[in-house]
Amino acid sequence: MAPLTLPLAADDRHLHWPWLVVALAVLVVVLMVVWAIGWSRRTPASAAYVAHAARLRSLPRFRALVRRRVVLGVALTLTALVACTGAVILAGRIQETKRIPQSESSRDIMLCLDSSGSMITIDYEVLKQFEQIVAGLKGDRVGLTIWSGTAVTVFPLTDDYDFVQQQLRAAEAAFATGDTFSDAYDKFTEGTIVNQKVQSQVGDGLASCAQRFDRSSQHRSRSIVLATDNQPYGRGVFTFDQAAAYTKSRHIVVHGIAAPTTSARPLALAEFKRDVLLTGGTFSLLGADGSVPTVVDSIERTEARRIQKPPIIQVVDEPHLGTVVVGIGVGLLVVVWLVEGLLFLKDRDPA
């Protein structure tokens, strides 16, 4: 199930402070005009008045030096203007408004684990299979509920797969010893048994898992992966048949994974298979070849609707244009200064 990639909407670029750009541009023009007028009227303090300078101005060398001076002056002025233009653009702060469409997968999967004492020797393997199921999912929300006499939510529906895998590994550690009297098992299954005479109630467990789905007003694809040995003890609120019918009425599909010991009780196995198939799901025996791929493939075939959410609006500065213009202007300015310096040194060299 490859995640849907959403393109960005058309971007909107604008100046955050357009008035500052106008003000700085006018200031630069005014300063240039003032400088030009002052330069044309000024007389250098070190000026010397020389008679009959017309002959000097007619010399080819003099004319060449004057042309070079004019060219260098124009080049310095233009490069300085380029750098100033970039600085003005940076001051105005070009900003880009990005509208990022949002949607999420509407496929929810609740892992529904029978944590009764009769299951402890195989719960570890069940959780391993759960890990494989989660590893085959992308973009879906997953939750875990454990139950025996009553149901306890280990973690609600979430698409944080790192957290999901962490919680599944913690659950594996609780069942790893195979000892119902271990502290790890007692702590993990705390709250699932309130009456020793009522345990492993498959109907109540399945119905409770069906009630763990949120966002009831949204049209979402919902699935339950149910693992149990279908060996209830005592009398619960729901029978397996009633829970399956209730789950189907809520448009929830159940994929059943039966414990290997269930095969020793043909009636329990048949009931398990019949009830999960009633919901439109699949049935497999734990450890049988292809049991996990069957569940994953069935979930993949379930249509995952995309739920559109309000777009994320991001306004970010885009200084690239101003930076490039400033860089070009400063770079050219340095080049012109270097050329002027080299020519000056060349003129002073008597060789």
In which element (H, E) is residue 310 found?
Answer: strand 306-317
Q: Are strands 151-158 and 141-147 parallel, antiparallel or unpaired?
A: antiparallel
Q: What is the model's pLDDT at position 310?
A: 65
Over residues 41-45, mean pLDDT: 61
pLDDT(2) > 70:
no
Phi-psi region of 109 (alpha: psi -120 to 50; beta: other; left: phi over 0): beta
Whether residues 268 and 329 share a domain: the answer is no
Report the alpha-carbon distance of residue 38 to residue 66 in Å, rounded. Answer: 20
Whichever domain contains 217, its CATH number is: 3.40.50.410
Write out pLDDT tens, residues 187-204. 888 888 888 888 888 999
Whether residues 90 and 195 share a domain: the answer is no
Distances from the Cα of 215 to the Cαs of 108, 219, 222, 281, in angstroms? Answer: 10, 9, 11, 22
Q: What is the model's pLDDT at position 273?
A: 92
pLDDT(150) > 80:
yes
Range of the domain at 249: 104-307
In the sheet where 94-105 sits, what is the strand order?
Answer: 12-15, 94-105, 306-317
In percent, the amount of the chain with pLDDT more than 90 equals 16
In which element (H, E) is residue 276 found?
Answer: helix 266-278
In which element (H, E) is residue 79 found?
Answer: helix 60-92
Whether residues 32 and 68 share a domain: the answer is yes
Q: What is the model's pLDDT at position 209?
A: 94
Distances from the Cα of 345 to the Cαs of 22, 60, 148, in angstroms? Answer: 41, 20, 95
Q: Are 208 and 145 in contact (CB under 8 A)?
A: yes
Write out pLDDT tens, residues 270-309. 999 999 999 988 888 876 555 556 666 666 665 555 445 5
Number of domains in the chain: 2
Q: What is the model's pLDDT at position 3?
A: 37
Res. 1 pLDDT band, cuts 50 70 90: very low
Whether residues 152 and 211 share a domain: the answer is yes
Res. 77 pLDDT band, cuts 50 70 90: confident
Report the alpha-carbon distance of residue 324 to residue 305 in Å, rounded. Answer: 45
Report the alpha-carbon distance of residue 323 to residue 325 in Å, rounded. Answer: 6
Res. 88 pLDDT band, cuts 50 70 90: confident
Q: Which of 11-15, 30-34, 49-53, 217-221 has the lowest mean pLDDT?
A: 49-53
Whether residues 32 and 120 share a domain: the answer is no
- 260 token code pair: 């290997």
Whether residues 242 and 330 share a domain: the answer is no
Whether residues 257 and 125 share a domain: the answer is yes
Greater confidence, 347 or 186? 186
Q: Pick from 309, 305, 243: which is nearest to 272 by CA? A: 243
Phi-psi region of 287 (alpha: psi -120 to 50; beta: other; left: phi over 0): left
pLDDT(236) > 50:
yes
Whether residues 172 and 290 share a domain: the answer is yes
Q: Which of 11-25, 156-170, 216-230 has the lowest mean pLDDT?
A: 11-25
Whether residues 235 and 340 share a domain: the answer is no
53 lies in some domain: no
Q: What is the model's pLDDT at position 302?
A: 55
Q: What is the model's pLDDT at position 277?
A: 92
Q: What is the model's pLDDT at position 262?
A: 87
Whether residues 148 and 195 share a domain: the answer is yes
Whether residues 301 and 329 share a domain: the answer is no
Report the alpha-carbon distance of residue 166 to residue 188 in Å, rounded. Answer: 14
Over residues 112-130, mean pLDDT: 81
In percent, the amount of the chain with pLDDT more than 70 equals 82
State which of 35-39, 172-176, 339-343 shows the largest mean pLDDT: 172-176
137 lies in some domain: yes
Mean model confidence pLDDT for the chain: 79
Q: Are 140 and 160 in contact (CB under 8 A)?
A: no
Res. 131 pLDDT band, cuts 50 70 90: confident
Its pTM stands at 0.57
Other beta carbons within 10 Å of 274: 13
**Which distant-in-sequence residues (6+ apart) come within 8 Å of 89 by Cβ?**
21, 321, 322, 325
Write out pLDDT tens, residues 317-351. 788 888 888 888 888 888 888 887 787 777 766 55
Report the alpha-carbon distance of residue 158 to residue 140 in Å, rounded. Answer: 8
Distances from the Cα of 263 to the Cαs of 259, 268, 284, 350, in angstroms? Answer: 8, 8, 11, 108
Query: Is residue 89 classed as helix, strand or coil in its secondary structure?
Result: helix
Q: What is the model's pLDDT at position 248?
A: 93
46 lies in some domain: no
Greater confidence, 271 or 316? 271
In which element (H, E) is residue 8 found?
Answer: none
Whether residues 142 and 79 share a domain: the answer is no
**Exposed (0-12), middle (13-18) or buried (19+): which is 223, by Cβ within 10 Å?**
buried
